[in-house]
Structure 1
Amino acid sequence: MSVMDGLQQKLQQQLSCIYNDVDIDISVPALAAQLIDIMRITEYCQVPEPFVNHWSEKDIIMITYGDSVIQQGERPLTTLAQFIDSYLSCINAVHILPFFPYSSDDGFSVIDYSSVNEGLGSWADISAIASKRRLMSDLVINHCSSRSLWFENFCKGEGVGHDYFFTAEPDDDLSAVVRPRTSTLLRPTETPSGTQHVWCTFSHDQVDFDFRNPQVLIEFVRIIRQYLDAGVSIFRLDAVAFLWKIVGNKSINLPQTHEVIRLLRTLIEHAQQDVIIITETNIPNTQNLTYFGNANEAHCIYNFSLPPLLINSLITGSCLYLKRWLMSMPPAQDGTTYFNFIASHDGIGLRPAEGLLEEDEIDTLVDTMKQFGGQISSRTTEDGLQKPYEMNIALFDALQGTTKGKDQWGMQRFVCAHTIMLALEGIPGIYIHSLLGTRNDYQKLANTSHNRAINRHRWDLNQLTEQLNDANSDHSQVLTELTNLINIRTQQIAFHPNATQFTLHLGLQLFGFWRQSRNRKQSIFCISNVSDQITDLRINELNLIIAEHWVDLLSGQPIEDITQTMQLQPYQTVWISNVRI
């Protein structure tokens, strides 16, 4: 069987699974052929090799908006590119959050997927960034803006998009639907055929697509092809867990959703084998893990449980829950890995902590974040109750103290959080405002009345460079510390995203794990004091091999006596390695 015949057959099987219960106006073979044609896959393509890791220990992804750093009279994407080159050369990949024309939600309500927001720059600017670093782009696949041409045509009842949106009836049983918002699910919309009630998982400006219509799938495959041509090599599938809807169902994590992701992966990897798919599924941990499939779905999944659990450890001084979770996490098989982060443009999600943190722990965590200036966003449960959904706060402020209140250890605690995250199995993602030590933006919060705005500051380049050139400023110290950590991390083969990881048992104040390189030549014992007390680390509990030479990679200090007891200062981390690369 030829490569093309095999691809055609595989796509037909996937499409048959997706549309098994749907009458579509195109034959499955014809649809498969059309998708192949759109992706420009030819008979000369290679069969993708399974279980291949398209990443290494050198990969660090920075998360940023296109206008997180601005300079008067210059396109923000140009400013961003120059700033990265000047100050963030340690970063080899960048996730530019939605850079398209939009109407709300800071870019996630897309008006036109095929254009770059003129206020940011052009496709040439996007491609210029992609020419120097791996570029990650959002594929906002669940919904679009109510101001898009597609939705305008839906309202007119004619033209491209008039049948792209999911509707239901007000008297349908929608009580089981799971969603992260408190607004009403259905949006009444006048059309030539009468009032239609459009499904809106997130807001009434974000109208959900109806993937039962294969034309919607065709449109997104066209979009993917355009992004590949522009240099995008990592696709973040935004809110993809909600993609397929069934009235009377929870309408989350449905089998058809998983099959759509598998189909998109099949197309993408035949077009360009080293492209990565990351699914953004802010849901309980066990559900999140299913998006790996059998190494045939997402290449990476967000480690959404890490931020709340790590912050909980650092404000309580106990790693109990963090350690339990890490012990329960399955090692990612080759061809898959975790995407680790502790801060992003969104808040710190609490749903991924459900079942991992006790309710009273979550309550304490929420109360502490409020004391540090954070906002709390809620969702409506299936019982109609309001429940905290995410904590909105800058990470630097979130870690300025403990449950006892603010203290003098904020900087050390903040750096400790990153030493833990950078050493864990997976690819690290660091928010630009973490790299810069940005604080809560109360002015933006007041101006927008949106809780998430508190962590979406926009820096003026001149003011930022003034801060970064002042060695005494928090911003300069943070960037220096994190740059040093990244430079050390990226030189260690034991920090390959798929290198072996085992959890250590060193009590509740010391959080530790062991990494071993895939060739077994390097071991690193990563141990952090998560408390505000000086804590003893008994080196002999690590079972270091006496014939090896050991060194703390972070301080450069050799471990002369493997029977010694080392005192770890509050929030100090050691990376004890037998090889210094």
Structure 2
Amino acid sequence: MSLSRDVKDRATELLSALYGCEAAQDTLTALEGLLAEDEIPSAKTRTWPALSERDALLITYGNTFSAPGEPPLGTLLRFLKTHVGDAISLVHLLPIFPYSSDDGFSVVNYLEVSPELGGWEDVAKIGEQYGLTLDLVLNHCSRSHLWFQDYIRGEAPGRDYFVEADPADPRLALVTRPRNSPLLTPVEVRDQGSRWVWTTFSADQVDLDFANPAVLLEYVRILLTYIRRGARVVRLDAVAYLWKTLGTPCINLPETHAVVKCLRLIVDAAVPGTLLLTETNVPQVENLSYFGEGNEAHLIYQFSLAPLLLYALTLGRTAALQTWAAELPPPPVGGGYVNFTASHDGVGLRPLEGLVSEADRDALLRRMRERGGYVSMRRLPDGRDAPYELNISYFTALGGDDGEAAQLARFLLAQTVALSLQGVPALYVQSLIATESDLLGVERSGQTRAINRRRWDYGELNALLAREGSVQIRCLNEIVRRLTLRRAHRAFHPEAGQRVLDTEDGIFAVLRTPRAEPGSQAVPVLCLFNFTPETREADVAPLCGGEGRQSLVDVIGNRRIACPRGLIRLPAYAALWLKAV
């Protein structure tokens, strides 16, 4: 396929800013060659529909479930068909490629499926049932990747693909760190001796040099391969750290945004409706910047939601959650938020910056440590360490002394908030089945992130799901039921209106209003939550008080609820979706 004149002009402008005019023309020619290299399904043969209230995403490793004589990707599909069905529409397969560390995020080969998981044919079978989300791990690759082996040998092309720096350079102190491990790692290079390479995340994850246009072209080739393999969404892992310029924090740089804009142009041209999702675990304002002016990411994560929900449910205070949600701008046309509570990573703490005080954050972390959680640290420019990420199962994090029923109620409340807010909900597979913290996994691996990455024997899990009244089957059935209910209400369309109501602390209320369409009635839904262990009263006048109605229907509970004087009684940890009748 060929690029339109408008796309060429915009790409030339971006590439010129990155590489200069002459290199920009050469890079653009190479990009067009990549697009023409193999046939990519065009808008005539494949277009993805716009996201709607019927969409929800499941996040999972390819080997979360295992069964004898079956590739783990096949077992995953069996779990989805048996227990989830069409309650979700998208499956995010965390890196499925050969790797050397970090559970897949230290990629050895971007174009092959790890034989331990299955093959591309198993990925295709999942793609026949669900929209695929695949990871593009583009900030770094494994030390075992052929590119880095080229670098060590001083051979093309990899010898020019990595970032070197002098550890004595004082400008390195300005670099924003997501870890407290060394920023640079020494390696022996043939005929050159010891060199120091940039390793943002670990010594086994070596950062690529996107100031070399050949590196950009390598990742465009990989991106197009994923699109050809059926990816509806491509997640850009750790993209905020992509560009390095000494003397700057080396995070969220203008050049990084320019690279994202280039990838957006290519994706929109290749298969319209394919979406880019940026993974930027940073404070809110920086996170929002990856929408650009509607010309960067199609989707961004709501990283502040998970820690805010933990904070609100642990301390019974919703003021910070309410303020954050009320101030959240609507996404640009064609863009959207991804709302989640848990993932393969821990709960990010940087997205709490500016939303709660350090004292309240530390109070939350003390409670989480009491429940067996770990807190990983990052290195500040002054050499001190600061909390970066909380590692704990989200279900365990919401435990307490009041029993399993209350724990499950809190957990379901948190998941239902994520289902209610403007955007697309994303659920981690471990959350579907109320997985507790995997302390044995931490002990075996020595990695605190393993606490929320349990690998299940499928026979063991099925036994739990077959046990009447088990917390696993109660959690799974209820989340699937709420996802199914959500699909039937246009008020949960990603572009439906959202108004956060002013409520007493401990109560959270969001009014979702669908767009009016000819021939259909726009039925608002009031999402109402009690974050406290006491019965509370809440004002529901936005739905019934103004029109004199005396009752509402709770969609989740499938019951009428009286609201005399426009008030409603909310049991402890209640989660309601209310509509007028």
TM range (shorter): over 0.9
Point out the more displaced range, 452-461 or 159-168: 159-168
Structure 2 counterpart of 1:565, from 551, 564, 567: 567
Distance 1:45 1:467 in 2: 45
Q: Which amino acid aligns with 2:269?
A: H
Structure 2 counterpart of 1:79, from 72, 75, 80: 75
Distance 1:291 1:257 in 2: 10
Point out the more displaced range, 186-195 or 445-454: 186-195
- TM superposition shift of 1:40: 2.8
Structure 1 counterpart of 2:142, from 141, 145, 149: 145
- TM superposition shift of 1:545: 4.7
Does residue 316 (structure 1) correspond to residue 315 (structure 2)? The answer is: yes
Cα deviation, 1:180-225, whole Å, max 9, x if unaligned, reads: 1111111111112232210011001000000111110111111011
Aligned partner of 2:19 in structure 1 is 19
Quick check: 1:539–1:562 contact (8 Å CA) kept in 2? no
Does residue 467 (structure 1) correspond to residue 464 (structure 2)? The answer is: yes
Does residue 36 (structure 1) correspond to residue 35 (structure 2)? The answer is: no
Aligned partner of 1:180 in structure 2 is 178
| 1:131 counterpart SS class | helix
Aligned partner of 2:491 in structure 1 is 494
Distance 1:435 1:127 in 2: 23
Aligned partner of 1:189 in structure 2 is 187
Aligned partner of 2:121 in structure 1 is 124
Structure 1 residues 562 and 272: CA distance shift in structure 2, 3 A? farther
Structure 1 residues 12 and 444: CA distance shift in structure 2, 3 A? same
Distance 2:155 2:23 in 1: 23
Quick check: 2:545–2:566 contact (8 Å CA) kept in 1? no
Aligned partner of 2:230 in structure 1 is 231
Distance 1:46 1:255 in 2: 31
Aligned partner of 1:532 in structure 2 is 533
| 1:551 counterpart SS class | strand
Residue correspondences, number: 568
Matches within 5 A, 1:263-278: 263-278=262-277
- TM superposition shift of 1:4: 2.6
Matches within 5 A, 1:224-303: 224-303=223-302
Distance 1:565 1:43 in 2: 56
Cα deviation, 1:344-400, whole Å, max 9, x if unaligned, reads: 000001000011111111001100111111111111111111111111000110011
Quick check: 2:139–2:208 contact (8 Å CA) kept in 1? yes
Aligned partner of 1:504 in structure 2 is 501
- TM superposition shift of 1:247: 1.3
Quick check: 2:40–2:228 contact (8 Å CA) kept in 1? no
Distance 1:44 1:314 in 2: 46
Matches within 5 A, 1:350-365: 350-365=349-364
Structure 1 counterpart of 2:54, from 58, 68, 79: 58
Point out the more displaced range, 373-382 or 203-212: 373-382
Distance 1:218 1:561 in 2: 61
- TM superposition shift of 1:509: 1.7
Aligned partner of 1:477 in structure 2 is 474
Distance 1:246 1:305 in 2: 28
Distance 2:122 2:540 in 1: 51
- TM superposition shift of 1:171: 1.8
Structure 2 counterpart of 1:435, from 428, 432, 435: 432
Distance 1:397 1:217 in 2: 41
Distance 2:49 2:92 in 1: 19
Cα deviation, 1:106-158, whole Å, max 9, x if unaligned, reads: 00000010111010011111111112111001100100001111101100000
Give the CA RMSD over aligned residues: 2.1
| 2:124 counterpart SS class | helix
Aligned partner of 2:579 in structure 1 is 577
Structure 1 residues 327 and 131: CA distance shift in structure 2, 3 A? same
Does residue 521 (structure 1) correspond to residue 522 (structure 2)? The answer is: yes
Cα deviation, 1:16-66, whole Å, max 9, x if unaligned, reads: 12224xxx9x6322311211221239999679xxxx982101111000000
Aligned partner of 2:376 in structure 1 is 377
Q: Which amino acid aligns with 1:257?
A: T
| 2:174 counterpart SS class | coil
Structure with greater helix share of residues: 2
Structure 1 residues 53 and 255: CA distance shift in structure 2, 3 A? farther
Q: Which amino acid aligns with 2:577?
A: W
Distance 2:420 2:231 in 1: 26
Distance 2:539 2:437 in 1: 39
- TM superposition shift of 1:88: 1.1
Aligned partner of 2:6 in structure 1 is 6
- TM superposition shift of 1:13: 1.1
Q: Which amino acid aligns with 1:326?
A: A
Distance 2:393 2:358 in 1: 23
Structure 1 residues 407 and 99: CA distance shift in structure 2, 3 A? closer
Q: Which amino acid aligns with 2:524?
A: S
Q: Which amino acid aligns with 1:566?
A: I
Distance 1:513 1:569 in 2: 18
Aligned partner of 1:217 in structure 2 is 216
| 2:159 counterpart SS class | coil
Distance 1:407 1:62 in 2: 25
Q: Which amino acid aligns with 1:322?
A: L
Aligned partner of 1:157 in structure 2 is 154
Point out the more displaced range, 568-577 or 542-551: 542-551
Distance 2:329 2:88 in 1: 28
- TM superposition shift of 1:83: 1.1
Structure 1 residues 478 and 45: CA distance shift in structure 2, 3 A? closer
- TM superposition shift of 1:160: 2.8
State the identity %.
39
If the length of structure 1 is used for normalisation, what is the TM-score? 0.94
Distance 1:525 1:509 in 2: 16
Quick check: 1:546–1:562 contact (8 Å CA) kept in 2? no
Structure 1 residues 324 and 155: CA distance shift in structure 2, 3 A? same
Q: Which amino acid aligns with 2:422?
A: E
Q: Which amino acid aligns with 1:308?
A: P
Cα deviation, 1:383-426, whole Å, max 9, x if unaligned, reads: 1111111110001100113xx88785101111111111100011
Aligned partner of 2:64 in structure 1 is 68
Q: Which amino acid aligns with 2:480?
A: T
Q: Which amino acid aligns with 1:415?
A: L
- TM superposition shift of 1:486: 0.5
Distance 2:226 2:40 in 1: 22
- TM superposition shift of 1:5: 2.5
Distance 1:219 1:71 in 2: 36
| 2:326 counterpart SS class | helix
Distance 2:4 2:350 in 1: 42
| 2:225 counterpart SS class | helix
- TM superposition shift of 1:6: 2.5
Distance 2:458 2:65 in 1: 6
- TM superposition shift of 1:543: 5.3
- TM superposition shift of 1:547: 7.3
- TM superposition shift of 1:333: 2.4
Aligned partner of 1:555 in structure 2 is 557
Quick check: 2:526–2:578 contact (8 Å CA) kept in 1? yes
Q: Which amino acid aligns with 1:228?
A: I
- TM superposition shift of 1:82: 1.2
Q: Which amino acid aligns with 1:528?
A: F
Cα deviation, 1:415-444, whole Å, max 9, x if unaligned, reads: 111111100011100000000111111111
Quick check: 1:135–1:234 contact (8 Å CA) kept in 2? yes
| 1:250 counterpart SS class | coil
Distance 1:567 1:7 in 2: 56
Q: Which amino acid aligns with 1:430?
A: L
Distance 1:409 1:208 in 2: 45
Does residue 94 (structure 1) correspond to residue 96 (structure 2)? The answer is: no
| 1:39 counterpart SS class | helix
Distance 1:406 1:385 in 2: 39
- TM superposition shift of 1:162: 1.7
Structure 1 residues 176 and 102: CA distance shift in structure 2, 3 A? same
Gaps of 5+ in 1: none
- TM superposition shift of 1:565: 3.4
